[in-house]
Amino acid sequence: MNCEICGNEFSFHKEDTSGLEPKLAKFFDKMQEKFIQRSICDVCNQVEYKNLKNPSCISPWESICPPLHRDTDISRLNQTVLEKANSWSYSPKGFGLVGESGKGKTRAIFQILKREHHKGKSIHYTTGTGFAHRLADLSKAKIEIDDCINADILFLDDLDKAKFTERVESSLMHVIEERNKRLKPIIFAVNASGKQLSDMFTENRSEPILRRLREFCEVHVFSNELKVVA
């Protein structure tokens, strides 16, 4: 079977409990059935146990991943998009998925984030509009910027949907620069092409922002046929 967290194939050998006292045998049989139903390999099971002993080290997955993306059927995702996302391993260099809406970019990325979450990585997820909205609220702006900078992984979804005011632009630039200094990866998904995205920023920040994203992220651009074209 395949582990539902890391995706790696593993085998589970059910222990023979026939020689145990009936109540004890029933208990072990029940525990083994639960293990099989969860489909989690021994390595991920040990990580989960470690996190349970120190629950403050990570946020609950439910507080990171929106309900819409929690029960994704990966067999229904476009495998080209999923393969590119899944090829990423945690490192200072993040990645970006660029292509038209409705092709599963966000769902594919959340599969990777789930894997890294269960390895103990802290994750901050925000959308372009959510980032802009929180920056407009002075009581939330500093918290949002700190969360974006300090998380092990930052996922910026639909970055091209934000209205890039002077404040939003300068804050985004600050976040990108701070994460680059700290060797912390950024993952992003956008529908707009490079030219369209460039036109959303002011002239003096457009080139520096996009250059840094290209330099510190492996960018995969998909055509309408979902083939990688750049």
Q: What average pLDDT does the chain have?
A: 83
pLDDT at 225 over 60: no
> What is the Cα–Cα distance from 100 to 190, expressed in whole angstroms?
8
> What is the Cα–Cα distance from 170 to 175, expressed in whole angstroms?
9
Q: What are the DSSP E strand ranges found in the chain?
A: 94-98, 123-127, 153-157, 186-190, 217-221
Four-way CATH pick for 59-221: 3.40.50.300, 3.30.2290.10, 3.90.25.10, 3.40.50.2300: 3.40.50.300
Q: List every span in the chain annotated with CATH 3.40.50.300.
A: 59-221
Q: Compute φ and ψ for 89, nearest 5 degrees.
A: -115, 150
> What is the Cα–Cα distance from 33 to 26, expressed in whole angstroms?
11
Q: pLDDT digit string (tens) for 66-75?
A: 988 988 888 8
pLDDT at 29 over 80: no
